[in-house]
Amino acid sequence: MAKENSCLTRVATGAVIGGAIGGAVGSVYGTYEALRFKVPGFLKIRHIGQRTVSSAALFVGKFGKQMVKM
């Protein structure tokens, strides 16, 4: 039985929230960047995916650490 406010629970919650926000931001920015730089064909999907994953990973790290400090 884990406590509701344990450190691991807060870090996991921060990681989930960070992943969701980072994924959304990354997909919007990746789409904008792919259209702006006129990435050809199916490379757009790859470009958007790379931006989404990298942004989500960045936000998971940031939100996970922030939740520990709370």
User: What is the model's pLDDT at position 9?
Assistant: 86
Q: In whole angstroms, what is the distance from residue 30 CA to residue 50 CA?
A: 8
* List of residues 6+ apart from 15 with CB closer than 8 A: 60, 63, 64
> For the chain, how many structural domains are there in total?
1
Q: Is the pTM of this model over 0.85?
A: no
- What pLDDT does 36 receive? 96
| Residue 26 domain boundaries | 2-68
Q: How many Å apart are CA 48 and CA 29, to the nearest integer?
A: 8
Q: What is the reported pLDDT for 2?
A: 55
What is the residue-level pLDDT of the chain in tens, covering all 70 positions?
456 678 888 888 889 999 999 999 999 999 999 999 999 999 999 999 999 999 999 999 888 888 777 6
Residue 27 is predicted with a pLDDT of 96
